[in-house]
Amino acid sequence: MIEIDLDEVDVRAINDRLHKLPPDTNERLWRIVNPKGAHALAVGLDRPIEIEIAGHVGYYCAGMNKAATITIKGHAGPGLAENIVSGTVRVSGNASQSAAASGRGGLVVIQGDASSRCGISMKGVDIVVGGSVGHMSAFMAQAGHLVVCGDAGPHLGDSIYEAAIFVRGKVASLGSDCIEKELTQKHRTKLSQLLESANIDADVAEFRRYGSARKLYNFKVDHAAQY
Amino acid sequence: MCGIVGLYLKNPALEPSLGRHLSAMLASLGDRGPDSAGFAIYRDPVPEGAVKLTLFHSDEDYDWAELTRAMAASLGVEIKGTPRASHFVLIAATATETARRWIALHRPDVRIMGIGQTIELYKEKGLPAEVVRRFKLDGFSGSHALGHTRMATESAVTTQHSHPFSTGLDLCLVHNGSLSNHNRLRQWLNRRGVEFQTDNDTEVAAGYFTYRLSQGASLAEALEAGLVDLDGFYTFAIGTRDGFAVLRDSIACKPAVLAETDDWVAMASEYRAIAHLPGADSAAIWEPAPATVYSWTKH
Amino acid sequence: MPRSTKRPANPARSAGDSAGLSASAGFPPAVIAEIQRAAREGLYEIRGLGAKRHLPTFDDLLLLGASISRYPLEGYREKCATDVVIGARFARKPIELKIPITIAGMSFGALSANAKEALGRAASEMGTSTTTGDGGMTEEERRASDILVYQVLPSRYGLNPDDLRRCDAIEVVVGQGAKPGGGGMLLGLKVTERVAAMRTLPVGIDQRSACRHPDWTGPDDLEIKIRELREITDWEKPIYVKVGATRVKYDVALAVKSGADAIVVDGMQGGTGATQDVFIEHVGIPTLPAVRQAVESLQELDMHRKVQLIVSGGIRSGADVAKALALGADAVAIGTAALIALNCNAPLFDADYAKLGTAPGYCHHCQTGRCPVGVATQDPVLEARLDPALAAKRVRNYLTTMVLEAQTLARACGKSHLLNLEPEDLVALTVEAAAMAGVPLAGTNWIPGR
């Protein structure tokens, strides 16, 4: 376990060191202390290493992550794991807005709440939120899964494409072209897998599924009010 | 666009270190607001029947002593004051309006930055770390404070365009965001007797809240009305005599972090600014919800 | 007695009037047709390219050549250099361009793969850059283009760290001249399997796009975003910020304060593959005033030549290049003009133009995906009409011509480097151009407004 103290070195130094790890590195376990809200920590990683960050992080932690497993013991600022490609990012606390924005793959687990725009523009990432999500979550969500064990704020899935949303609690309102859909066996299986990968114990049957009504897929005057 | 911070002390034992903490908070948000900085600090209340004004003049060698003497002689009351860099904190043993009117009439080139029983309001161009050094903010004590680091969006970088803007007695406003209908609102307020010094959008918001308050609204009602009448993106922090309030617009794109311990409540655009406060590690941390008024006040 | 059939004089008389018809300036046939179309379809008109209306442009500026007081350089022997370095402010590997003309961002999706490849090849031959667009990076373009600028747009279609790491510069797109405040648009016919896969969209849908970035809003948060992009790429690559020309003075200052290495300002003449006609024609300011405002903003911050300015929107010839540089730009970018060099609006396959309801020289129908010359299409049959090698040669020739033209003008002004052109080398033909460009009306000392 390699420990890095951000009171001693700066973010550039730690990112540089992580970027320079060879593909077959044996420096696979890392712990970063005293993050104190620093931005762009552990971004652009591309190694199957594990990093624990002890404390609260600022914006864009784990941005564009590939392959790495990053665990934040604390809260995360805006843009957590934005554009993640693969790997896993876990937050024990809450995440600020735009968590996993435009994420392409991998898994993002937020044990607390996830603020507004969670999963905005998502393109394949799987997001599991133990708590609730704020307004405009899954806005223009194209692919992937968003699982919310708590409640969802207004305009959930506004302008959604093919991503699937599962919510256990209350949905304040649905966005344009987002409707409730049947929770089939296929979805239950997937949901079960996602909850398990998030270490969250919850009954699949309590969730409802939401997705695109697909009425906005081609411009039509009759749907002008939805724009 | 900018950084905003607020610190409200629940534990009076921390009052001597208020300035030091606020100073560090402002310096940490210099990247998102490099043009100018300002703060309003609530401290040293003046007795009933007196008023405290924070004055500014662009001439660094302005003769504040002369102003003090002239005002005292003219009004026949005790006037005293303390210079702080380009600002001057004046305490007049007279009614608020009397003091304000004297300045406006006899020293029209002197700007009143803040006015009330306890507020002191300082703002200047320059990097936040330098601004707080110039005013020696580290040495200030007080019960609560708001601060701002500015990245000017559409209006000029001057002292007067900096935040906080004073909206009334012991009131001030800091803003992160960009309003989109402030020009028409400014004219609407002009017609209702509100005057502005600058073309800055935040000053319009400050004037709007003052107007609502002057029409009998409570602070919460004024802020609720603002949600309807102010268009654009904003996180506002408002300082009052006894506390502060935070409000985000309904789209809530601009950041806001709140943190609370037994000793203090803090607010900032980024957690970084709060991270070094004593006990921050175990503070409750959350984000204000959109279109919701949050406020703290001493009872 | 026969009554007179003469009508009173009509000030709005035009061509139609020879038949005794009375035209309206406010409701000419084109406007009437558009209202009727709207009544039929219930949706705004969507089209490609840029503003078609008359605007003050570089045509309204002239260069002051050699005189008894100022001497020209001999062609060929006496060098007029054309190189420019972009992005040295923070990046460890700034971009070195041999010519100050780059290819602007245009998406694979809006354009065919052959078009992107041709542009890349031509740019590489000329020692300049191309730019990806709202769909991500294709292998063809990365292979063909020696210097590739990678756009980060609100949609984030195709964006990934591997492409970010293998690009040469990053361009954060806040907006573009055709639609400042609007997002990308690609209609169903062009959302083919390949395009859809790159953009993670269902095949055949009309792509809706976000107009704001998903994870930041405002220059204060852009500052942090730029920092993140630098961290991901180890501070190696220059980061450009691109805006559509609106509040240029403020935008340029804010881009500087957010930490940009270079700024791209795209005037309202700037083209697009598809957007609402009202957006193209009624939002934004022309390139002419945008250049001046951008340069003034940089000068006020003492950042002129330290943060580079790339200007685009209706650049057509070496004269435009010379004038843009004279006003203070470090380089220009071409979009529409590059497409025309490829074959856009070429008089080939006239029947196919007619099927679209247009003709060579008038076509702006990129949005249909039925580009008769294979430039702005995903249809393999149409795309095959564009041979990348031949098309690359055309673009290379066109770029060469522009450079030679600009050098000719610069030498005539006594400049040994294109970037030594200055505003004092310019005069204006109209009051508007004089005011917008901040140069005197020809033959006078008068700059309106100063």
CB < 8 Å to B153, chain C: 218-219, 250, 254
Assigned domain for C36 exists: yes
Residue C450: per-residue pLDDT: 86
pLDDT of C84 reads: 98
Residue C248 maps to a domain:
yes
Per the CB < 8 Å rule, is C218 touching B35? no
From A219's Cα to the closest Cα of chain C, the distance in A is 7
pLDDT at B171: 92
Same domain, C80 and C141: yes
- To test the contact with chain A by mutation, choose from C41, C232, C258, C368 the residue with the greatest count of A C-beta atoms within 10 A, namely C232
**Is residue C35 included in any domain, yes or no?**
yes
Closest CB to B272 among A36, A78, A96? A36
Q: What percent of chain C has pLDDT over 90?
A: 92
One domain for residues C326 and C363: yes
Tell me the sheet residues that pair with A57: A76
What's the rounded mean pLDDT across residues C3-19? Answer: 56
Tens of pLDDT, residues C388-441: 999 999 999 999 999 999 999 999 999 999 999 999 999 999 999 999 999 999
Look at residue C384 and give its three-state secondary structure.
Answer: coil
Provide the 8-state DSSP code for C108.
B
Q: Closest approach of chain A CAs to the CA of C73, in angstroms?
A: 49
Q: Rounded to whole angstroms, how far apart are CA atoms B34 and A215?
A: 46
> Which distant-in-sequence residues (6+ apart) come within 8 Å of A209 by Cβ?
A164, A165, A166, A180, A181, A182, A183, A187
- Percentage of the residues of chain B whose pLDDT score is greater than 70: 100
Span C41-60, average pLDDT? 95
- Residues of A with CB below 8 A from B290's CB? 116, 134-135
Q: Kindly state whether residue C449 falls inside one of the protein's structural domains.
A: no
Residues B110, B115, B119, B122, Cα dihedral to 10° = -20
SS (H, E, C) chain B: CEEEEEEEECCHHHHHHHHHHHHHHHHHCCCCCECEEEEEEECCCCCCCCEEEEEECCCCCCCHHHHHHHHHHHHCCCEEEEEECCEEEEEECCCHHHHHHHHHHHCCCCEEEEEECCEEEEEEECCHHHHHHHCCHHHCCCCEEEEEEECCCCCCCCCCCCCCEEEECCEEEEEEEEECCHHHHHHHHHHCCCCCCCCCHHHHHHHHHHHHHHCCCCHHHHHHHHHHHCCEEEEEEEEECCEEEEEECCCCCCCCEEEECCCEEEEECCHHHCCCCCCHHHCEEECCCCCCCEEEECC
- C253 to chain B, closest Cα gap in Å: 9
Contact C228 A43 (CB under 8 A): yes
C-beta separation of A28 from A8 below 8 A: no
Q: Is the peptide bond before A78 cis (omega within 30 degrees of 0)?
A: no
Please report the pLDDT score of residue A225 as a whole number.
60
Chain A: touching chains (3 or more CB pairs < 8 Å) = B, C
What is the β-pairing status of strands B36-42 and B144-150? antiparallel
Same structural domain, C96 and C34: no
C215 to chain A: which residues are within 8 Å by CB? 60, 78-79, 82, 97-98, 101-102, 120
* Three-class secondary structure of residue A15 per DSSP: helix
- C-alpha A203/C-alpha A88 separation (Å) is 23
Confidence category of residue B168, pLDDT binned at 50, 70, 90 = confident
Query: Could you tell me if C165 and C244 lie in one domain?
Result: yes
C74 contacts chain A (CB < 8 A): no
For residue C108, being part of any structural domain is answered with yes
Determine, for residues A60 and C214 on separate chains, whether the beta-carbon distance falls below 8 Å: no
- Report residue B166 CA to chain centroid gap: 6
pLDDT tens figures, B255-274: 999 999 999 999 999 999 99
AA identity, residue C407: Q
Q: Which helix (H) or strand (E) holds C144?
A: helix C139-144
Residues C104 and C248 both lie in one domain: yes
User: What CA–CA distance (Å, rounded) separates A29 from C34?
Assistant: 65
Minimum mean pLDDT range among B151-160, B200-209, C434-443: B151-160
Residues of C within 8 A of A121 (CB-CB) are 155-156, 210, 214
Reference B131, options B274, B239, B34, B44; nearest CA is B34
Chain B neighbours (≥3 Cβ pairs under 8 A) are A, C
Mean pLDDT, residues B90-118 = 95
pLDDT at B161: 87
* Beta-carbon contacts below 8 Å between A and C: 109
> What stretch of H or E contains C266?
strand C262-266
CA atoms C187, C190, C195, C197: torsion sign: positive
pLDDT of residue B208: 95
Q: What is the model's pLDDT at position B289?
A: 94
Residue A80, exposed/middle/buried by CB under 10 A (0-12, 13-18, 19+)? buried
Cα radius of gyration rounded to whole Å, chain B:
18
Q: Where are the beta strands (DSSP E) in A65-110?
A: 69-73, 88-91, 107-110
Whole-model pTM: value is: 0.94
| Chain C contact set for B269 (CB, 8 A) | 220
- In this prediction, the residues of chain A whose per-residue pLDDT falls under 70 are 221-227
Amino acid at C16: G
Residue C5 in any domain: the answer is no
Q: Which residues of A touch C41 (CB under 8 A)?
A: 221
Chain B residue at shortest CA distance from C221: B32
Which of B36, B148, B154 is best to mutate for the C interface (most C CBs within 10 A)? Answer: B154
**SS3 (DSSP) at C40:** helix
CB B118 within 8 A of CB B90: no
With respect to residue C50, please indicate whether it lies within any of the assigned structural domains. no
The verdict on a CB contact (< 8 Å) between A15 and C231 is yes
Same domain for C107 and C190: yes
Reply yes or no on whether the pLDDT at C37 is more than 70.
Answer: yes
Q: Say if residue C11's pLDDT is above 60.
A: no
- pLDDT average, residue stretch C350-366: 96
Residue with tokens 């270490």: A199
Kindly report which listed range (A57-61, B293-297, C10-14, C228-232) carries the lowest average pLDDT score: C10-14
Return d(Cα C255, Cα C251) in angstroms, integer. 6
Q: Name every residue whose Cβ is closer than 8 Å to that of residue A156 and which is 6 or more positions away in sequence.
A: A133, A137, A138, A165, A167, A171, A172, A173, A174, A175, A178, A210
Contact A121 C165 (CB under 8 A): no
Q: Is residue C151 part of a domain?
A: yes
Do residues C19 and C119 both lie within one domain?
no
Residue C249 pLDDT > 90: yes
Q: Which residue of C has its CA nearest to B254?
A: C217
Nearest CA distance, B286 vs chain C (angstrom): 19
What is the rounded distance in angstroms from the CA atom of residue B31 to the CA atom of residue B242?
30
**Cβ contact C220–B233 (<8 Å):** no
Q: What is the CATH number of the domain that holds C97?
A: 3.20.20.70
The Cβ-side half-sphere exposure at B277, using a 13 Å CA radius, reads 33
Residue B156 has pLDDT above 90, yes or no: no
- Residues contacting B249, CB < 8 A, separation 6+: B177, B227, B230, B232, B233, B234, B235, B290, B291
Q: Mean pLDDT over all residues of chain C? A: 95
CB B222 within 8 A of CB B209: yes
The per-residue pLDDT for range C209-229, each reduced to its tens digit, is 899 999 999 999 999 999 999
The model's pLDDT over B224-259, given as tens digits with 9 standing for 90+, comes to 999 999 999 999 999 999 999 999 999 999 999 999
Containing C288, the helix (H) or strand (E) segment is helix C287-300
Q: What is the pLDDT of residue C330?
A: 98
C29 & C175 share domain? no
Probe site for chain A from C215, C216, C239 (most A CB atoms < 10 A): C215
Separation in Å, CA of C372 to nearest CA in chain A: 24
CB A103 within 8 A of CB A121: no
CB distance B252–A39 less than 8 Å? no
Query: Is C257 touching B (CB cutoff 8 A)?
Result: yes
Residue B152, pLDDT score: 85
Instruction: Domain count for chain C, please give it.
Output: 2
Range of the domain at C29: 15-43
Q: Is residue C130 located within the same domain as residue C19? A: no
Query: What chain B residue is nearest to C227 in terms of C-alpha separation?
Result: B31
Q: Does residue A78 belong to the interface with chain C, where contact is any CB pair within 8 Å? A: yes
Residue C78 has pLDDT above 70, yes or no: yes
The whole-number pLDDT of residue C20 equals: 85
Residue C4 has pLDDT above 60, yes or no: no
Instruction: Mutate one of A21, A46, A66, A82 to test the C interface: name it (highest C CB count within 10 A).
Output: A82
Instruction: Kindly state the average pLDDT of the residues C193-198.
Output: 96
Residue B195: CB partners within 8 Å, gap ≥ 6?
B207
Are C129 and C39 contained in the same domain? no
Rounded to whole angstroms, how far apart are CA atoms C419 and C415?
8
pLDDT digits (tens, 9 = 90+) for C117-149: 999 999 999 999 999 999 999 999 999 999 999
Q: Give me the percent of chain B exceeding a pLDDT of 90.
A: 89
Q: What was the pLDDT predicted at B24?
A: 96
Minimal CA separation from A161 to chain B, in Å? 21
- Spatial separation of the C-alpha atoms in residues C74 and C410, rounded to whole Å: 11
pLDDT score, position B157:
83
Q: Cβ of C29 under 8 Å from any chain A Cβ?
A: no
* Residue of chain A whose Cα is closest to the Cα of C165: A44
Determine the distance in angstroms separating the CA of B14 from the nearest CA of chain C, rounded to an integer. 31
- Examine the domain organization and report whether C34 and C129 are in the same domain: no
| For residues C200-205, average pLDDT | 96
Q: What is the pLDDT of residue C178?
A: 96
Alpha carbon separation from C121 to A169, A227, C393 (Å, rounded): 55, 40, 8
Could you read off the pLDDT of B69-101 as tens digits, one per residue? 999 999 999 999 999 999 999 999 999 999 999
Which tokens in the block code for residue A127? 């997001």
C48 in Cβ contact with C384 (< 8 Å): no
Judgement on whether residues C241 and C206 belong to the same structural domain of the protein: yes
